[in-house]
Amino acid sequence: MDNKIKLRNAGLRPTKQRIIIADILLNGFNRHFTAENLQNEISISGNKMSIATVYNCLKKFKNAGLIKQVESYTDTAIFDTNNVSHHHFLNEETGELIDIDNNEINLIKLPDIPKGFINSGVDVIIKLKKNN
Amino acid sequence: MDNKIKLRNAGLRPTKQRIIIADILLNGFNRHFTAENLQNEISISGNKMSIATVYNCLKKFKNAGLIKQVESYTDTAIFDTNNVSHHHFLNEETGELIDIDNNEINLIKLPDIPKGFINSGVDVIIKLKKNN
DNA sequence: CAAGTAGTTTAGAACCATTTTAAAGTAAAA
DNA sequence: TTTTACTTTAAAATGGTTCTAAACTACTTG
């Protein structure tokens, strides 16, 4: 299994569990998945892994740059009294949001919308980190 | 209290609790807040409200268009084997994500970055709804 | 190779934001 | 005024995620 080497190159100890996950994820096809999705696929592949291990591995894979986690603003619901359509700066350190007026951003090129769907809104998030 | 009328116009029964919340939120100043933040402000204003009621009211206010909830992709963590920077379509109905190549989107105008910060990445989410 | 050590896995408990339950309370309609 | 539909509430339940602490395993050093 050359995933053993991939893991080592990424600075991760190639444990049995990590190899099982690498074999499922790192096959060249891109996809989105949750921890639970992955645990199911592990079962289907004839293996068994605790959900804590699935989370542990995903965190390690992410920190090693093998996968990404889809950005989400926050883990708690945030409400906004500004009900005019607008965008946001996100302070990555604190989670704080700052509004951006719609006319401060100009998108000149958008991808084709998938067949059968219409664009129901575009959200732009500009992530901020401290400058120093 | 003219918030009583605002509530009625929005199709909401003006209960004691909803008026308390409207008095706090609908004063013309825009802000972001969580349910817990709001419950604290309710306490500070000398009132007391169960967290379930805070959530109920926020949902009603949102559906009535009085406030917005800041978009977040999902309530569960989503991972992605595509670790090249890219954007996403979000199927609002199912939560499904589809990758958009970075070169399919062109932003020609961005707002000034707040002092002391640098832009550490821009995420674009195009929300999709069924066309019918 | 042996023994030590540092990192990993695990079941189960804990956590925490949010929703549900079901009973009591309140606003509006009849 | 009575009824009906909606609302509030405390407390329990839910569900995704993290923590705990004990057992285990990969790697290092002698």
- Tens of pLDDT, residues B22-31: 999 998 899 9
CATH architecture of A3-63: Orthogonal Bundle (1.10)
Distant-in-sequence, close-in-space partners of B75: CB < 8 Å, separation ≥ 6: none
| pLDDT of B80 above 70 | yes
Cα–Cα distance, A24 to A67 (Å, whole number): 12
The dihedral built from the CA positions of residue A98, A77, A85 and B85, taken in this order, carries a sign that is positive
For position B73, what pLDDT does the model report? 78
- pLDDT grade, residue A1 (50/70/90)? low
Mutate one of A23, A102, A123, A132 to test the B interface: name it (highest B CB count within 10 A): A123
Distant-in-sequence, close-in-space partners of B98: CB < 8 Å, separation ≥ 6: A114, B88, B89, B91
Cα–Cα distance, B128 to B105 (Å, whole number): 16
For position A75, what pLDDT does the model report? 84
Q: With contacts defined as CB-CB under 8 Å, which chain B residues touch A30? A: 80-82, 99
Residues B113-128 have a mean pLDDT of: 95
Cα–Cα distance, B11 to B9 (Å, whole number): 5
CA B99 / C1′ C6 distance in Å: 39
As to burial, measured by CB atoms within 10 angstroms (0-12 exposed, 13-18 middle, 19+ buried), residue B15 is middle
- Tens of pLDDT, residues A24-44: 999 888 999 999 999 999 999
Please name which of A122, A39, A48 lies closest in space to residue A88, comparing C-alpha atoms: A122
What residues does A52 pair with on adjacent strands? none
Of A73, A99, A119, the CB nearest to B128: A119
What residues does B7 pair with on adjacent strands? none
Cα–Cα distance, B46 to A73 (Å, whole number): 31
**In chain A, what are the domain boundaries?**
3-63, 71-132
Q: Report the residue of chain B nearest A95, measured CA to CA.
A: B32
Cα–Cα distance, A44 to B66 (Å, whole number): 47
Please name which of A84, A112, A115 lies closest in space to residue A100, comparing C-alpha atoms: A84
Cα–Cα distance, B64 to B62 (Å, whole number): 5
Query: For residues A57 and B1, which has the higher predicted lDDT (pLDDT)?
Result: A57
The answer to whether B83 contacts A77, with C-beta atoms less than 8 Å apart, is no
The answer to whether A126 contacts B113, with C-beta atoms less than 8 Å apart, is yes
For position B94, what pLDDT does the model report? 86
